Chain A
Amino acid sequence: MSVSTEVAPHGHGEHAEHPEYMRHQFDDMDQQNSAASLGMWLFMMTEVMFFGGFFLGYSIYRSEYYESFVNGSHHLAMFLGGLNTVVLITSSVTMAFAVRAAQLGKKNHITAFLVMTLLLACTFMVVKFIEYKDKWDHHLIPGMDFVWTDPGDPRTVQLFYGFYFCMTGMHGLHVIIGVGLLIWLLIRVKQNKFNSEYYAPIENFGLYWHFVDLIWIFLFPLLYLIGGLHE
């Protein structure tokens, strides 16, 4: 492999001329932005594989203990779950607007839409808390405090609740991390860190947030709507 003495455009020598948001290892903003974007998509792939383990386990036991899963599902608050679905989808819309505002470099709009997303995320967690509290009051905490008097084998209904808490819990953890990241983004916006050339963190957080939304879109019917509508 021979190295030409010719200098590629944007060599190290020009480093000093670059804006502060451009990292030293990149030659230009295009490269930096596309690297960030690819990194985020790869990260989503790992997330898909991560949640995939839950979905696999869920599918197996649902087909094995279908009756118990239906019975367990009927004790979930379908209205609250549905409400949370609407809340999250709306937050995805506001997030998409925030990304658009970032592309256009409109700082006030970015702030407004990020705050809306943040509030909706918190709403989601409050509703989730109400649901968890209800399960706690009704002794539906698997492993710790589980009392089941309705039809169905208590052990396998407990398995359903195990998956319910693991899956919604892990999803909720992602929402909480999202809240933290939103606050961080808002601070960065306030500090004027972003402009129409550099807004990759907002765009990539948008991808993350849509992913979190998407997981819930799968969780809601799988957990709340087994055996059709109820209540």
Chain B
Amino acid sequence: MSTLEAPEAVAEHKMPRDHFLNATHTVKSWLLTMDHKRVGLLYLISITFFFLIGGTFASMIRLELATPEADLLEADQYNTAFTMHGIVMIFFFLIPSIPAVFGNFIMPLMIGAKDVAFPKLNLASWYLFIFGGTFGILTTLLGGVDTGWTFYTPFSSTYSNGNVILAAAAAFIAGFSSILTGLNFMVTIHKMRAPGLTWFKMPLFVWGMYSTSLLMVLGTPVIAITLVLLMVERGLHIGIFDPSLGGDPVLFQHLFWFYSHPAVYIMILPGMGVISEVIGAFCRKRVFGYEFIAMSSVSIAVLGFFVWGHHLFISGQSIYVGMVFSFITMLVAVPSAIKVFNWMATIYKGSVAYDAPMLYSLAFIGLFSVGGLTGVILALMGLDIHMHDTYFVVAHFHYVMVGGAVTAFMAALHFWWPKITGRIYPELWARLAAVLIFAGFNLTFFPQFIVGYLGMPRRYHVYPEEWQLLNVMSSAGATILALSFAMPAIYLLWSLKNGKAAGPNPWRATGLEWTLSSPPPEHNFPKTPIVEEDAYDYSKVIDNPVVEDEVEELEHA
């Protein structure tokens, strides 16, 4: 159990003279930046803001559910709270989180590119995101929307009193931001790789980004058109999804889940990419089964398009269709398990260092496994009829999305923080926060499996008294979770001024991004690198990090 910190070495590092952060200082230079690294940071700031809003709604939900009666929120207000929690967290935090922040910042560095293929489009994506986000905030300020984040018709199109059109427009616009980001990444990965960096030499994070982009590019337009139809129907009463006008509400569910199921892979695949990077670096080993992990990302992306029907088991869809969807859904467990087993094999007999990114990664493996296995349970048609729309589903979803995606986001944030800011964060605090988040998370969501199995339905603000203990546990866990998420916010900001200089490669990790100074120079690589070796070749990593002087020399050459 050794850590990677080598205090003597760290003390010698100094911040590079010129880097992308101090290249220009005006607000305009940030708002009109064409630099993928700055766009990544713009996203980091904006999604943190949305995470706070989504978290506030989550707190309201857990506070209300601490008692069986309705004491904080009326039924309508509660509907609004869980709807806004879902919309904000999914469309404005989880979907952009890792791709838009770390995909933007790190991916071009990983492949040795000077920028993404279309820097202007990249900035435009951020503006679209902000534009959509403004609609989201406007929805909130005008009283929110109460349909659930799924916008099911005909409630959303006909009966709801909330701001459905505004909320749908918010998701529609944010969707285009996501489409354009995915498109940009796909072209970047195809066309901008450094000489010698063949597909199977790419870091696994890049494979994750590629698979995610595929889903964004092919799936998101479908939700866009679905939301257009929804808005038209609500605005003009055309009746495409309204049975009283001849329409079919189940068609909406098909169209909605055709995107929204792949969307959960948009949220988890980048996380899996992060975990592969971190595990390699903190086990000092080549990631086991590299090709299998790479291809499992692609196969999750492809299979992900053929499982949407498992959300419709009780919608009246044909039982034979349900059987096919059930089977394909269980197939997704295969590539997911391939990843988990390969990570375990990497850790096995590795020299493991338990720094914060690794703690988050270990948490990810455990929590994702629980989330994934309960997903297999829900894929069984018989059991799903019992558990449909209960807290069991809520718990499953949060194990994958918070335990998986958010934990991976935290791993990525800690792993690449020194690269992004050039500063080392306080390791002890980071580990403490990681452990607390893990504990708080389990306390919040594990009781929900039980209470869900017992039959507590989701989306109600009151429940029978016998479920109070489990709900109080859950609310207590949520409190720990909220407080422990505040810790990284504090110590990371503190480290911006007070952290030690990180040097180019504080983790002694492989990958082109670690050959640059931290923070990286404005135009990334002074000379286009030529890649000769495989990814994660830790057998050849020298124990001394690159000496800054050399990097500086290269940059000013």
Which A residues contact B (CB, under 8 angstroms)?
1-4, 6-8, 10-13, 23-27, 31, 34-35, 38-39, 42-43, 45-47, 49-54, 56-57, 60-61, 65, 142-144, 153, 155-156, 158-159, 162-163, 166, 170
Contact = CB atoms under 8 A, between A and B. Distances in A.
Interface string B192-206: 101100000100000
A12 B246 contact: no
B117 to A, nearest CB: 4
A155 B266 CA distance: 39
Contact of B532 (A2, A38, A60): A2
B540 to A, nearest CB: 7
A98 B118 CA distance: 25
Given A8-B529, A12-B528, A50-B222, A159 B511 contact: no
Given A35-B192, A158-B239, A166-B229, A49 B222 contact: yes
A42 B251 CA distance: 26
Nearest to B511: A1
B533 interface: yes
Contact of B236 (A2, A7, A52, A142): A142
Nearest to B179: A46
26 contacts: A1-B533, A8-B528, A8-B529, A12-B114, A25-B115, A26-B114, A27-B528, A35-B118, A42-B183, A45-B217, A47-B221, A49-B218, A51-B225, A53-B221, A53-B222, A57-B229, A57-B240, A57-B251, A57-B255, A61-B246, A61-B248, A142-B238, A158-B239, A158-B245, A162-B236, A162-B240
A159 B240 CA distance: 7
Interface of B: 113-119, 179, 183-184, 186-187, 190-192, 194-195, 201, 217-222, 224-226, 228-229, 232, 235-240, 245-248, 251, 255, 510-512, 515, 523, 525-535, 537, 540, 557
Nearest to B190: A38
A159 B525 CA distance: 57
Contact of B533 (A2, A46, A50, A159): A2
A27 to B, nearest CB: 7
A25 B117 contact: yes
A144 to B, nearest CB: 6
Contacts of A27: 528
B253 to A, nearest CB: 13
Contacts of A46: 179, 183, 217-218, 220-221
Contacts of B533: 1-2
Contacts of A57: 229, 240, 251, 255
Given A3-B515, A162-B238, A12 B221 contact: no
A25 B236 contact: no
B521 to A, nearest CB: 10
Contacts of B183: 39, 42-43, 46
Contacts of A144: 236
Given A50-B225, A57-B229, A155 B528 contact: no
Given A4-B529, A52-B222, A158-B239, 5 more contacts: A7-B527, A12-B114, A25-B192, A53-B255, A170-B228
Max count, chain B CB within 10 A of own CB: residue among A34, A142, A144: A142
Smallest CB-CB A-B distances: 5 pairs: A53-B225, A143-B236, A162-B238, A50-B221, A25-B115
Contacts of A34: 191
Nearest to B554: A5
A61 B225 CA distance: 17
